[in-house]
Structure 1
Amino acid sequence: MNDDAFYPIGTPGRPWGDAEKAEWLSRQVRHRSYQSEVLDTIERLRARFDVVEYGRLEYGADRYPLLALRSRVWNDALPTVLVTGGVHGYETSGVQGALQFAEQRAADYADRVNLLIAPCVSPWAYERIHRWNMHAVDPNRSFRENSPAEESAALLRLVAPLRDRVLVHIDLHETTDSDESEFRPALAARDGKPFEPDSIPDGFYLVDDSENPQPAFQQAVIAAVAKVTHIAPADANGEIIGSPVVAPGVIEYPLRQLGLCAGVTSARYKTTTEVYPDSPRATPEQCNAAQVAAVCAAIDYALAHE
């Protein structure tokens, strides 16, 4: 790469210090409201769910309650399903898809599963349409002991009592054009590494757990989502975002090893969804619907194979 392509904060080849992080933070602008777009919806759902405050972020003058929806009638004899969204705050359909599932489809699974839904893990980033938290830390590489991200640590505490009892965990994400134009260049600059351009896959795909792959489960989710939006093809190298495609629309990561949200439980069936909202072939409504379809398909498959 050349200096002209470098991110506008920091010095090429040198990781950010406090000054660079402060400059980055000074550029972050609130674009939308966690209160009106997330908390108000959760408030409407109080009639149907228990609402759990599992943490509170205090970022400067900003205060963000971290809220989860929990099945009102919890039955330890039933399998538990964990749905997470907004680990990366800019990935809108992860948040809105989780809320839409809670509003429109959760009742279909009453008396069949226990539901725990954390729709917006990173509210500061949601408001600023960003990948990182206030401290320039990626929560989705931080789900580990002594986590540097308060958002991640709070979710880990929430799920700790259920860690070995969760059957399904589906973590709702997006891959966007801004990954290539903003977030990956910022990551390279923050860490003092060269930025290597890559391509953005056009369509929906899934990330399975390479340490416990469930190919039939992943394909059931892909089949359901294909009815709503298109599935990302492999690139010329047979890859999606640098990882080999192991089945149509599926790649694998070692989830727990990488500190990813989908690795926070011992669930047999786990996946990370990746919707592509910038495609000319997809609308915001389709992206939300694709997330809902993925959650339903994941639960349906698990229930049918238990």
Structure 2
Amino acid sequence: MRRRSYADDVLARIDAFRSRLDVVQYGELQYDAEVYPLFAVRNRGQHDGLPLMLVTGGVHGYETSGIHGALQFIEAHLADYAGQADVLVAPCVSPWGYERIQRWNPDAIDPNRSFREDSPAGESAALMRLVAPLRDRVLMHIDLHETTDSDESEFRPARAARDGQPFVAGGIPDGFYLVDDSKRPQPAFQQAIIAAIAGVTHIAPADANGEIIGSPVVAPGVIQFPVQSLGLCAGATNARYRTTTEVYPDSPRATPEQCNAAQVAAVRAAIDFALKKSS
């Protein structure tokens, strides 16, 4: 059941950018009678020779601040990087999931495990086609996510049931954290983002086992996954600097506005760090 509107919440805001930024349609999804055009936004002007930064949001459509944080960044800050960086933002990769507040697409496929060649998820395949000619040009890729209470109460049990596995209860970290690439870690990059976020919202602590969501904490607020082998969006290009943000919107210590602001601060810190290192 549709619970919110992609057209009203996302497309209308993207349309407002057309007078000052480049808006490109990179695909279209059709589920039964519903059609979802997919758009990316880019700062206007000549980009030859400029470092390319990629920002993605809404890979999991139910993770609200990923979408609205990306849109807020475009509105307030994308034009700031004209002449410094070529910034490409895909703010809502999974519009069907956004409308229905769902992690998976209608085929019960998790788009954020599907960023690979011949992807079974239309959402992931469309983004892969967009970035294919840019894979080796991208210097930085930040993918905006949330970890919510519904991960534990709804989506993890559903995944276990789908896969015929027993559900093992875990926990949801209270605060912001990042997922680095375990195969190509960039600890200074991750810590620059954490430092920027600490002024906006709280950083998730390690649990009693020194872990966050079952992964060892390698630095304050940072864990690592092998992003490309897992088919995660952060591994969609060969970017030197890449990370996945995770915000906890159900925390009693954070508001929706803080979660959006944290995503914006993370994007700005990531771009600024990559620019400094490339100069």
Give the TM-score category using the shorter length. Answer: over 0.9
In the other structure, the counterpart of 1:152 is 124
Provide the C-alpha distance between the structure 2 equivalents of 1:284 and 1:55, rounded to a whole number of angstroms.
Answer: 29
Q: Does 1:266 align with 2:238?
A: yes
Other structure's SS at 1:125 match: helix
In the other structure, the counterpart of 2:217 is 245
Provide the C-alpha distance between the structure 2 equivalents of 1:74 and 1:177, rounded to a whole number of angstroms.
Answer: 43
Q: Which of 173, 196, 220 is equivalent to 2:168?
A: 196
The Cα of 1:215 is off from its aligned counterpart by 0.2
Q: Does 1:117 align with 2:80?
A: no
The Cα of 1:213 is off from its aligned counterpart by 0.2
In the other structure, the counterpart of 2:196 is 224
**TM-score after normalising by structure 1:** 0.90
In the other structure, the counterpart of 2:101 is 129
Other structure's SS at 1:45 match: coil
Other structure's SS at 1:262 match: helix
Q: Deviations over 1:240-276 (max 9, x none)?
A: 0000000000000000000000001111110000000
Other structure's SS at 1:120 match: coil
One-letter amino acid matched to 2:239? A
In the other structure, the counterpart of 1:13 is none
Q: Deviations over 1:59-114 (max 9, x none)?
A: 00110001111222131210000000000000000000000000001122111000
The Cα of 1:222 is off from its aligned counterpart by 0.2
**RMSD of equivalent CA atoms:** 0.6
In the other structure, the counterpart of 2:38 is 66
In the other structure, the counterpart of 1:108 is 80
One-letter amino acid matched to 1:297? A
Q: Does 1:94 align with 2:66?
A: yes
Provide the C-alpha distance between the structure 1 equivalents of 2:117 and 2:208, rounded to a whole number of angstroms.
Answer: 38
Q: Any stretches of 5+ residues in structure 2 without a counterpart?
A: none
One-letter amino acid matched to 2:22? D
Q: Which of 68, 84, 92 is equivalent to 2:56?
A: 84
Provide the C-alpha distance between the structure 1 equivalents of 2:167 and 2:71, rounded to a whole number of angstroms.
Answer: 35
Q: Does 1:214 align with 2:186?
A: yes
Q: Deviations over 1:35-73 (max 9, x none)?
A: 000000000011121111111001001100011112221
The Cα of 1:153 is off from its aligned counterpart by 0.3
**TM-score after normalising by structure 2:** 0.99
- CA contact 2:180–2:222 (8 Å) conserved in 1: yes
Runs of 4 or more above 6 Å deviation? none
Q: Does 1:300 align with 2:272?
A: yes
Q: Does 1:35 align with 2:7?
A: yes
Q: Deviations over 1:114-159 (max 9, x none)?
A: 0110000000000000100010100000001111100000000000
Q: Does 1:57 align with 2:29?
A: yes
Q: Deviations over 1:150-182 (max 9, x none)?
A: 000000000011100001100000000000000
Provide the C-alpha distance between the structure 1 equivalents of 2:2 and 2:212, rounded to a whole number of angstroms.
Answer: 31
- CA contact 2:58–2:64 (8 Å) conserved in 1: yes
One-letter amino acid matched to 1:282? A
Q: Does 1:173 align with 2:141?
A: no
Question: More deviation in 228-237 or 101-110?
Answer: 101-110
Q: Which of 17, 24, 27 is equivalent to 1:45?
A: 17
Provide the C-alpha distance between the structure 1 equivalents of 2:228 and 2:186, rounded to a whole number of angstroms.
Answer: 15
One-letter amino acid matched to 1:266? N
One-letter amino acid matched to 2:235? G
In the other structure, the counterpart of 1:279 is 251
- CA contact 2:43–2:78 (8 Å) conserved in 1: no
In the other structure, the counterpart of 1:24 is none
Provide the C-alpha distance between the structure 2 equivalents of 1:265 and 1:166, rounded to a whole number of angstroms.
Answer: 7
One-letter amino acid matched to 2:203? I
